[in-house]
Every structure is written in structure tokens, then in C-alpha cells.
Amino acid sequence: MTEQSALLIRGVSMIRGHDTAPETGDILVCGSRIAAVGGTLEAPDHADVIDGEGRLALPGLVNAHTHSPLSVVQGAYDTLNHRSCMWLFQAYTKNRTPREVYLSALKNAAEMLSSGTTAVIDHFPEQNFSIDDVEAVVTAYRDAGIRAVVALRIFDGEYTDIFPVSGGLDDRLLEDLHRQNPLRPRPLEETRAICEEAIARFDGLDDGMIRIFPAPSNPMRCSDDLLSMCLDLSQSYGVGIHCHLLETFVQTKIAQQRYGRTMVQHLDALGLLSERFSSAHTIWLDEEDIALLADRGAVPVHNPESNSRGGSGIMPTPAMLAHGVDVAIGSDGSCSGGAQFLQRAMLLATLLHRTPEYPPECWVGPADTLRMATLGGAKAMLAAGEVGHIEPGYRADLCLYDVAGQHWEGAEDAVASFVENETGQSLTCSIVNGRVVVRDGRIATFDWDATRQELLARLPEMKARNAALFDLTGRLADAVLAGGQGPRSV
Ligand SMILES: [Zn+2]
């Protein structure tokens, strides 16, 4: 039997959970789990010892919604709305090789691990990915050492919510779209087959670090048969279901027209709402929808930076928290969510609702936000009770920050200082499942400089190969914008 690894963090200040005051002591990790916390602890002779002097330990953050293929598309669409930028994303992500899928995911992982995020739900791209693509992204996360749900983004209908409304296109553009549409669904039986193969090959790898979830792009882009298939996969294999939900106002209109009820009610009628269901954005809900999410234990994922950039709306987080909904938080893809530093989304989540409409007792507090970024995300990943606390028995997913930095000095409230002032740049060490993946501020698991150089060298060709698609989607985006088709146009 091989000797179990051991790690001792000596004399560190720590915030064990979102609502706890800092305390100082040792943290002992044996294998993948936290073995003991607090006081002065004895460690095995072979233990890796990290000096915690001047450091603050927190549970690793969970980025509960992003898209790794977009990690190379930062800042490209700052002035576009959701409907128009969605078209341009297709041109950026089409025709990737598995190697490029791998490199894009590594870039996302590097940004997260080096800023304090130790787990991620990656909503994989929709354009008929292959099993080799899934293997590439899984391999990237295994190589990086980050805990990851690879959420397979599937659909079998039209993207009606982003099509320009009738009259907004000339005939030539419609013909070109019909011929080149990058969002062509594959048959349902093929979708099921690739999901089952991915689950069989990758779900549960590395001591459960890798999970595979079926992940409808958005329920309105899916038939009821596909949604029911996701429920069947969830029940048959114990996996979660992840999706986008009600990101834009037009999506509520489409749901009412199609189902005669809200999308949340429709999903519930199909049986999808449960503790295994998580949904990004989830903005356009009424009070009854929120109560339904609370009752079923579903987890909405707040994406405040992405929603603000795209002008989509603001999640009703205060009402959700009042109903007892477990909310998670995510960056979204880099094109709309920016670099993958979850702290920026956390700051926005804390401040967005501080307007005259909301009295201070309704405000989202720093501890609420930290809970979203730890326990909320853990629930979305089906890792509740496993990650999100620095407590014996939990997985050792935690990060150390240098608190000698100027924005930490004189901090009265460590949780508020972390949520409102930290950017991730104070991070010195990230530990995932007991393994040190960032040490002294540098990625320890793979050669980040070589990865970055290879990715940068490939970028021009990655764009050039999709020149025709850039032309088409650019014209589509222009038509949408020229027609004033914002999030409310039906
Ligand atoms: Zn998204």
C-alpha cells in the first residue's frame, strides 16, 4: 500500500466557512481530505509543510458557470447585446481541433486556479462536439488539477431567441444563414449516445474530481424529448443537469407562446427541477417561479458581470435568498464574463441591488455572496458536504492569500474585505483534493508559459479558418443591432 500524502499548513489565519470569523491555527490534510483543523497539530514525517504566517486561508471558490472555448475571446463584444454577440461567438468557436479545445480549457483553468477558484462547471460548446473534444477538455482539467463538471451543451431545436425578428433580414442573408448555420442540431439518438459514452468514460474520474452532466443549451432550444432524456440520464447515472435559463426577456415570451406557462413551470411539469438541476442567469422569473425553485431545491447560478455586459437584466437575488433558494455564482465565458476571476462577479453580486428599490435589509451581504461562491457552487456540482468548508472530513479544496497586501491591512471584517476588495491577485497557494496546484503564486501542475505561447501562436489560424462564418455572423449581428433588437424584441 502506498503511503498517503500529507500536508500541514502551519499557523494560518483562516475563514472556515462563509459566516465564520477568522481564527488562527494549523490545517492538516491527509490524502484528499482535511484531517484536522485548529490549534497546533502533529503531522507525519513525510508531510509537506507550508508556513501560514501572513496568510489567510479560505475554502476554494466554485465558478458554477463558464464556457472554456471562449477563454480566448476576451473583450471582443463589449458593446453588443446578447442576441447579436451570440452569433459572433459561433464564429470564434467553430472548427476547433481537440488540441485547441484542450489549450482553451487550460487557459481557463490557469486563470481560475491562480485567483482562488478550485472548482468549475464548464458548459461545453454546442456545435456538435465530438467525444475527442470531450476527452480534450477532461484531460485539460485533469492536467490542471481543478475539480470540474464538464456540462455537455446539447440542443435539438432552433435558437429562436437569437434569430432576428421577421422583417429584419434581407433574402440573401437568410439564404446564407440557412446554408451556413453553425447551430445545426444532431439527431436525438446521437446526442444520447455521445452523452452516455462521455459519462461512461469520464464521469467520476480521479476520485470524483471529474463529473459529466447533460446540459441543454437553453430549454427553449430543446424539445421535451431531449429534456426528458436529460432527466433519464440524471436518474440512471446519478449526474446533474445544467443549462442556461431565462437569460433574456424574449425567452419568457417564447415560453408563454409555446407552453402557455412559464419556462420554470414547464420544466417542473417535465420533472427536471430538483437538487440536481442548476441554471445559469435565471433572471426573468416571477415570485411563483422563485418559490418553485426553492421548493424543488434547484440551484440558480448568478452571472452578474456577463448579464451587465450584455444588458440582459439583473437576477432577483434578494427575492431568491428570501425564499431560501441556494444560489451559486459564475463568471460565464470570458467573452461576456471577462477574465475568470470570480471575485469580480462576487463584488457585483454584493452591490448590484443596493438601489432605492431595495431597503438595506434586502441587500445581499458579503457572507451571502461568499456562501454562493462556496456552498452554492458545491450544491450545483453535486458536491454538497464535500467542498465549501475548511472542516475535518471535507475535501481539501482551499486557498491561501497574502494578507500583507495593502488592501487587507486594517481590515475590520475579513469576509467583507475578501468579497469587496480581493481580486485574486493576493493568492499564493491553491490546493485541490489535497494536491498543491498553485505554489508561491505559480501554477505547479503544468507549464503555463508553454501553453500560453502555443495558444497565442494558433490564434490567427483559428480565426482565419472561419472567415466565411465571421462574415455571416457579423452581418447577422449588424442586422440585429440595426433593427434595434435588444433583449425585449420578440
Ligand atoms: Zn453561459
Give the pLDDT confidence of 228-252 residue by residue, as tens digits. 999 999 999 999 999 999 988 888 8
Alpha carbon distances (Å) from 2 to 31, 45, 206, 229, 445:
11, 15, 16, 42, 21
Q: Which residues surround ligand 1, an ion (CB under 5 A)?
A: 280, 332
Question: Which range, of 80-94, 344-358, 372-386, averages the lowest pLDDT?
Answer: 80-94
For residue 36, how far is its CA from the centre of ligand 1 (angstroms)?
Answer: 38
C-alpha cell at 131: 467525444
Indicate whether 96 pLDDT > 70: yes
User: For residue 304, how far is its CA from the centre of ligand 1 (angstroms)?
Assistant: 11
Q: Which of 442, 460, 476 is a domain's end point?
A: 442
Span from the CA of 90 to the centroid of ligand 1 (angstroms) = 13
Note whether 54 and 187 are same-domain residues. no
* Ligand 1 center–CA 366 separation, angstroms: 24
For position 488, what pLDDT does the model report? 47
C-alpha span between 315 and 244 (Å, rounded): 13
**C-alpha of residue 261 to centroid of ligand 1, in Å:** 24
Report how far residue 52's alpha carbon sits from residue 55's, in angstroms, rounded to the nearest whole number.
Answer: 5
The verdict on 305 and 417 lying in the same domain is no
Do residues 76 and 37 both lie within one domain?
no
142 and 99 belong to one structural domain: yes
Name the residue range of residue 47's domain: 6-59+391-442
Q: How far is the CA of 149 from the centre of ligand 1 (A)?
A: 14
Note the pLDDT tens digit of each residue in 271-280. 999 999 999 9
Residue 477 placed within a domain: no
- How many A from CA of 281 to the centre of ligand 1? 8
- How many domains would you assign to the chain? 2
Give 33-61 as a DSSP string: EEEEESB-----TT-EEEE-TTEEEEEPE
Residues 32 and 150 placed together within one structural domain of the fold:
no
Average confidence score pLDDT of the chain: 91
Q: What is the pLDDT of residues 189-215, one digit of tens each?
A: 999 999 999 999 999 999 999 999 999
Q: What is the pTM of this model?
A: 0.94
Whether residues 87 and 42 share a domain: the answer is no
